[in-house]
Amino acid sequence: MLNTFDTCCYETEFFTVFLLFFFLLAQQLLEMSHGQCCFKFFTGRIPPKKIVSVFKSHSACLEKAFVIGTATGRRICVSQSVTWAQEAFASMTNLQNDYE
């Protein structure tokens, strides 16, 4: 027969395992693909020499965007309708194809 202390500890252990599992699952889902959605969009222009990566937001996102990585490590969302962002994406895609 379990006493109150044992029941309490089992519930705490279960909750801890559940939180760990949930955290690992969420982390894995984020890392499966670029999978980011953008909710705020940068309206300025980023100089091409500061852009180190460009990828499209996940196809399930409501707003289509490019996620632009900068040399300083920032990730900036830009609408896919912005011409300079389209050009940056095409340029990065061409560079990647040249190395393959």
Supply the DSSP string of 4-66, one letter for each residue: HHHHHHHHHHHHHHHHHHHHHHHHHHHHHS-----SS---S---GGGEEEEEEPPTTSSS-EE
**pLDDT (0 to 100) of residue 55:** 92
Label residue 73 by pLDDT band (50, 70, 90): very high
Label residue 36 by pLDDT band (50, 70, 90): confident
pTM for this entry: 0.60
Distance (Å, whole) CA 100 – CA 79: 28
pLDDT at 37 over 70: yes
**Residue 68 parent element (H or E):** strand 65-70
pLDDT at 25 over 60: no
Distance (Å, whole) CA 6 – CA 71: 53
| Mean pLDDT (whole number) for 73-92 | 95
